[in-house]
Homo-oligomer: A and B are copies of this chain.
Amino acid sequence: MNFELTEERQMLQDTLRRFLRTCYTTEFRNGVIASDQGYSPKIWTDLAELGVIGALFNEDQGGFGGTGFDIATVFEELGRAGVVEPFLETGLLAGRLLNQQDMIDQIIAGQLQLAFAHAEPNSRYDLNDVSTLATMLANKIVLNGRKAVVANAEAADYLIISARESGDDISFFLVPRDTKGMKLQGYPMTDGGRAAEVILDDVTIDVTSRIGIPGQALNQIETTIAAATVALCAEALGLMETAIQLTIDYLGTRKQFGKPIGSFQALQHRMADMLIELEQVRSIVILAAGHLETAPNIRDRYVSAAKNLIGRVGRLVAEESIQMHGGIAMTEEYELAHIAKRIIMIDHKLGDTDYHLERFIALSA
């Protein structure tokens, strides 16, 4: 049993923390969020150079990590700094679905952007609820359907699009963003970055665009989503660390009734409860990361436990941090505003608190 980071991961953590603390200020982030692109290509390249993306791939793929603990290390730091760049989409989701080594090389080098277009307007959090159709027509594949809230779609060079082929099973396809018939309706997200509704109207692609075995995508999607959920959980941990640290700092400086508000015992005890729950979150992230490479039913039980706990504690931490600050925390120019939004919005990604509770119960039976 050993709960220390390996030397490599510790170095990565230190480097990332130092770099982001310096560069990724609230002002900078708010500028990024307000920009048309919704992310900073400069930060993207810088972080790629620091190894953020390489850490998400294993050595066979040209990376130097790829396990649950690597993912957790990276995303905790991204969370701590409230980073909005699409590392989850390009680095983790798309990166794990692809098998083209040349593209993976480009991803690791920070030269390619991708998006995973899977969820649909009515699928909510159900991974198997795909209505988009892929029809064979004269040696071509024709895609028709609509994909919902596809993060990073506008910036992506390629979209990975899931669809049902003949029969009932899901395949997925690598489609250049500028392919004819694909319409993107973009918008900003509450927690930064951009997403788009993707309308597929007779999008005609080559059969070679299919990734993997026809109709066998669901399994791979589930494995990928498990890794992405661990990433979200670790990100949430980092975000909560920042929310709590901001609150601690504020409690020490803000005065009311002639005393720092941190001297009020009611707030002290609520802070203690948050700190206790933060350790709970840290532990469940370790458990989920540590079980990412186990059998799917064990893996998913830990992953759902983590996402459920993070949903519950996330709400507590976001709301309590704002409440203990008062009005200042609600202003866009104060760092907590973004951090708190991001914590809450994680509950809307890859299954919310209740969804994962239900899945945990099913997997525990």
Contacts and interface: CB of A to CB of B under 8 A. Distances in A.
Contacts of A266: 265-266, 268-269
A19 interface: no
Contacts of A264: 265
A86 to B, nearest CB: 41
Interface band, chain A = under 10
Interface string A228-268: 00000000000000000000000000000000000011101
A269 B266 CA distance: 7
Copy number in the complex reads 2
A265 B269 CA distance: 10
Nearest to A269: B266
Nearest to A264: B265
A273 to B, nearest CB: 10
Interface string A202-225: 000000000000000000000000
Interface string A171-209: 000000000000000000000000000000000000000
A233 to B, nearest CB: 29
A269 B268 CA distance: 12
Interface in A265-282: 265-266, 268-269
Contacts of A268: 266
Contacts of A269: 266
A268 B269 CA distance: 12
A264 B268 CA distance: 11
A268 B265 CA distance: 10
Interface in A259-313: 264-266, 268-269
A24 B186 CA distance: 72
A266 B268 CA distance: 8
A319 to B, nearest CB: 16
Nearest to A268: B266
A269 B265 CA distance: 10
A271 to B, nearest CB: 11
A263 to B, nearest CB: 10
Nearest to A272: B266
A266 B264 CA distance: 8
Interface in A111-156: none
6 contacts: A264-B265, A265-B265, A265-B266, A266-B266, A266-B268, A266-B269
> 4 smallest A-B Cβ distances: which pairs?
A265-B265, A266-B269, A265-B266, A266-B266
